[in-house]
Amino acid sequence: MSLHPILALDHVIDEYRDYLRTEFRAKDAGLREALEQALDQPLFLAQEPFFQAHRPFRSGNRWQDLPIDPRLARVMAARSQNERAYLHQSEAISELLSPEARPVVVTTGTGSGKTEAFLLPVIQNAIEDATRFRKNGLTAILIYPMNALANDQLIRIQEYLQDSGFSGTVTVQQYDRGTPQSERIAMRSNPPHILLTNYMMLEYLLVRPADREDIFANHRCRFLVLDEVHTYRGTLGSHIALLVRRLQTHLARARHDWQPDVPAADHARRYPSLVPVGTSATIKSISDDAELSREEALRLRDEAVQDFFAKLTGVEAGSIRVFGEEIEDIEIPPEAAYPATPVDPGPVDIGNIESVRAALCALAATPTDTPLPEAAKRCRLLWDLNRWLTGAPMSISRMVSRLRQEVVARQDASDADLWHEVEAALLVGAALPDGIQGVLRLRAHRFIRGGWRFHRCVQPGCGRLYPMGEERCGCGFATAPLYLCRNCGADYLRFVGDPDKGPLHPSAVASEGPERMLYEPSRFETTEADEEFEEEEDTEPEPGPRATRRRGGRQAPQQIKRLPVLHGSFDPATLTFSLVSGMRNRVETVDLKIRMANRPVRVPPDGSEAPLATPLEAGFTRRVSPSCDNSCLQ
C-alpha cells in the first residue's frame, strides 16, 4: 500500500508530541499534567494542515515523434509508463533541439518531469556529437547548487545511456571536491561530453591553468544548464551572473587545435552557439489576481522570468522561451451529486477496501453495494475537492467555507458537520486505488509550530503555564522561564541578578546573568534518577563544619558549578530572595522554602559542561509535507 499523506502527517505530529513528552518529563505530577494539556491543545504543536491535489499534466507529442533517438524514446516511454511526453516536456525538447534553439527556462512544479526537459536534449546532442566527430569534448555543462543533486542526475544520465545503448559512446563525468586528482588529470586529456559540477568548482575550473586550458580545449559546448535557478538571487546571483559571463568569454577563446576547419555543414556543430537553460519549480508563480485573465497572468509570469534569467545569463530577455505547466481540465460527471444533508461516515479503515467503499457510498448517497468506480463517479464532493485543490493549497476550514459558498444544500449546515464531511472525503479520496476516476492524489503540508517558550507564574498558589512566554500572569504576578532537569525532571524558574542587591528579574535570554535557578526541594522525593543526578553534579565541599541536609539517605548538594546553593525564602510579589541561615528562619509573609543555585550541569570525562536543566521551548518552524503523488516518474 502506498503512503497515505493524511495518516502520515498525523503520525509525524503524534511522534513529535510523544518526543516532547519524553524530552520534557516533569517529576511534579501537577506540572506534568499541565504540560500535557498544553501540548494537546488544538493547533498548539502544528498549524492546520494544507492540502494540494495533483492533476495530470497536459500531454504533448509521443516520445517517438520527438527529435530524439528512437532507442532513447523507447526508454522514456518505458520509464514514464506513457507513450506521450507532457506538453511542457515536448515543447522544451523540441525547442532545444531545433537548429535555431533559443534560451529556455522550464518553470514547472515538483514531479512535472522538468529534468527530462533539458536532460534529453543534452543527451541527444551528445549522441549526435559523438557519432559525428568521434572525439571527446564538452558538449554541455550542467551546474547544480548542491552536490546531492548532481549525484542524482549523474546516476539518471548513466541509466538513460545504459538503457538506450549509448553508455560506451557518450561520456559523462562529475567534477567536485570529491573528484580524485587522478580523475582530474585524466579529464584534462580526455574531457567528457557532459560535465556536471557546481558553481564553486566551475570557478576553480576557470582559475586553475591546467584545467582551464585542457578541459575546455576543442569543446563543442552547446548547453549551459542552471538547475534550481531560483537559488541564484541577491549576492549569490550577482556572483553567478559574473561567473556565467566569464565562462562564456573563456569558451569563445578556448583552444581549438583539432579540426579547426570543418565543412560548412558541420560548422554549427563544431562551433555551436551556447544556449543557456534554467529550471525551477518556484522561480515565479502565476498571479492569482482575480482581475487578470489567464493570458495576462501568464504574460506577466513570463516577463518576470525572462527579466531574471536575462540578468543572470546576459542573453536578450525577449529571446528566452518560458515553459510552464499545463494541466488537464477536470470534467465533472453529470451524475455526480451531493447528499441532501452533510454526511459523516464515521471511522474509515483505509487498509480495508470495503471500509473505503462503504464510506464513499455514504458520501455519494449511493447504495452500499455500489462498485467503487461508480461510487467515485457519483461523489460530487470528491470532484469538487479535485477542482479546488489543484488550483491552490487549501486548509480544511477554507474548504468548508468554499463548500458552503458553492453548494446550496450546505449553506445552513454547521461548521462541524461540514468539517467531518470534508475530512472524510479527503481520507477516502486519497485511499482510492490508482486508475479510478476522481482519485485524490494529495500532497499534505503542515507547519510544526516554533517560537513557544513556557513561562510559569511565580505565585505558588497559581503556577499557571504560559507557552508563549507571556511575562505577566492573569493573577497579577510575574512569570518566569520554566526549566526542567533532563535527568530527574525537577523544575526550575530562571532569574538573573544578585539577591543581595535587590529583586531578581525573570529572564529567558541566555546571555544575561548572573543566572539564578529557583526550585522547591520540598516538592521532590529522592529517586534513583535523583541519585544519578547528584552523582553527576559538580559538587565540592566547603572547608570547615557545615550543616548537612540529607535526602533519601544521601547528602543534598551544597554547590553547583563551584558556587553555593543558597537556602531561603522567595517573595513572589517583590521577586526578592531572602537568605535564611540553616533554614531555621524565613520571611513570615511568604510560605515558600526555596533553594537558589546556578544551573545544574553534566560534566563528561572530557571536562566540558552540558546543561542538565533546559528551557521548555522550540525555536523554529518546520514544514512537514508527505505526499502520495508518484507522478515524478516523468
Decide which of 222 and 547 is more confident. Answer: 222
Residue 605's pLDDT is 53
CA–CA gap between residue 484 and residue 20 (Å, rounded): 12
Where is the domain boundary, 440, 475, 496? 440
* pLDDT above 60 (res 532): no
Q: Would you say 613 and 599 are in contact if contact means Cβ atoms under 8 Å apart?
A: yes
Q: Are residues 351 and 315 in the same domain?
A: no
For residue 30, being part of any structural domain is answered with: no
Average pLDDT over residues 87-102: 96
Angle between helices 70-80 and 147-164 (to 10 degrees): 120
| pLDDT tens figures, 576-592 | 988 765 443 332 223 34
Q: Are residues 151 and 295 in the same domain?
A: yes
SS3 554: strand
Q: Are residues 387 and 296 in the same domain?
A: no
For residue 79, being part of any structural domain is answered with: no
Give the number of other CB atoms < 10 A from CB of residue 493: 25
Average pLDDT over residues 17-45: 87
pLDDT band at 319; cut points 50, 70, 90: very high
E strand residue ranges, 520-562: 550-551, 554-555, 559-560
Give the chain's domain count. 3
Q: Are residues 384 and 513 in the same domain?
A: no
- Cβ-based neighbours of 242, under 8 Å, separated by 6 or more: none
CA–CA gap between residue 46 and residue 451 (Å, rounded): 11
Residue in 136, 120, 135, 139 with CA at minimum distance from that of residue 269:
139
| pLDDT tens figures, 123-153 | 999 999 999 999 999 999 999 999 999 999 9
Label the pairing between strands 593-597 and 566-571: antiparallel
* pLDDT above 60 (res 527): no
The DSSP result for 142-189, as a single string, is EEESSHHHHHHHHHHHHHHHHHHT-TTTS-EEEESTTS-HHHHHHHHH
For residue 48, being part of any structural domain is answered with: no
Residue 279's pLDDT is 94
Q: Are residues 359 and 415 in the same domain?
A: yes
Where is the domain boundary, 324, 344, 368? 324
Residue 585's pLDDT is 31
The DSSP result for 440-493, as a single string, is --EEEEEEEP---B-EEES-TTT--EETB--SB-TTS-BEEEEEEETTT--EEE
Residue 523's pLDDT is 65
pLDDT band at 96; cut points 50, 70, 90: very high
- Name the residue range of residue 378's domain: 328-440
Computed over every residue of the chain, the mean pLDDT equals 85
pLDDT band at 603; cut points 50, 70, 90: very low
Residue 536's pLDDT is 42
Residue 289's pLDDT is 57
Decide which of 600 and 274 is more confident. Answer: 274
Residue in 72, 73, 128 with CA at minimum distance from that of residue 97:
128
Residue 510's pLDDT is 83
Q: Would you say 224 and 276 are in contact if contact means Cβ atoms under 8 Å apart?
A: yes
Residue in 71, 179, 189, 49 with CA at minimum distance from that of residue 124:
71
SS3 21: helix
Decide which of 306 and 617 is more confident. Answer: 306
Task: Indicate which CATH number applies to the domain containing 227.
Answer: 3.40.50.300
* pLDDT above 60 (res 543): no
Residue 288's pLDDT is 57
CA–CA gap between residue 155 and residue 196 (Å, rounded): 11
- Cβ-based neighbours of 283, under 8 Å, separated by 6 or more: 105, 107, 229, 230, 305, 308
For residue 239, being part of any structural domain is answered with: yes
Q: Are residues 364 and 472 in the same domain?
A: no
For residue 106, being part of any structural domain is answered with: yes
Q: How many CA atoms lie within 13 A of 90 on its CB side?
A: 17
Q: Are residues 250 and 144 in the same domain?
A: yes
Q: Are residues 332 and 470 in the same domain?
A: no
CA–CA gap between residue 577 and residue 594 (Å, rounded): 9
Residue 26's pLDDT is 87
Grid cell for residue 221: 559546448
- Cβ-based neighbours of 234, under 8 Å, separated by 6 or more: none
- For 150-164, 343-357, 597-611, which range has the lowest pLDDT when averaged over its residues? 597-611
Residue 513's pLDDT is 79
| pLDDT tens figures, 194-213 | 999 999 999 999 999 999 99
Q: What share of the chain is helix, strand, coil (3-state, %, to 5)?
A: 40, 20, 40
Q: Are residues 276 and 143 in the same domain?
A: yes
CA–CA gap between residue 13 and residue 451 (Å, rounded): 17
Q: Would you say 403 and 384 are in contact if contact means Cβ atoms under 8 Å apart?
A: yes
pLDDT band at 568; cut points 50, 70, 90: confident
Residue in 479, 541, 528, 550 with CA at minimum distance from that of residue 508:
479
CA–CA gap between residue 629 and residue 441 (Å, rounded): 6
Average pLDDT over residues 503-525: 82
- Per-residue three-class SS string for 254-317: CCCCCCCCCCHHHHHHHCCCCEEEEECCCCCCCCCCCCCCHHHHHHHHHHHHHHHHHHHHCCCH
Continuous segment of H or E residues that includes residue 516: strand 515-519
For residue 264, being part of any structural domain is answered with: no
CA–CA gap between residue 281 and residue 414 (Å, rounded): 38
Q: Are residues 245 and 345 in the same domain?
A: no
The CA dihedral of 127, 133, 134, 139, to the nearest 10 degrees, is -50
Q: Are residues 378 and 467 in the same domain?
A: no
Continuous segment of H or E residues that includes residue 235: helix 234-253
For residue 29, being part of any structural domain is answered with: no
Decide which of 396 and 43 is more confident. Answer: 396
| pLDDT tens figures, 459-490 | 988 999 998 899 999 999 999 999 988 788 88
Residue in 160, 87, 166 with CA at minimum distance from that of residue 127:
166
Q: Which residues is 224 bridged to in the sheet?
A: 141, 276
Q: Are residues 319 and 336 in the same domain?
A: no
For residue 16, being part of any structural domain is answered with: no
Residue 391's pLDDT is 77
Decide which of 530 and 283 is more confident. Answer: 283
* pLDDT above 80 (res 331): yes
Average pLDDT over residues 50-65: 91
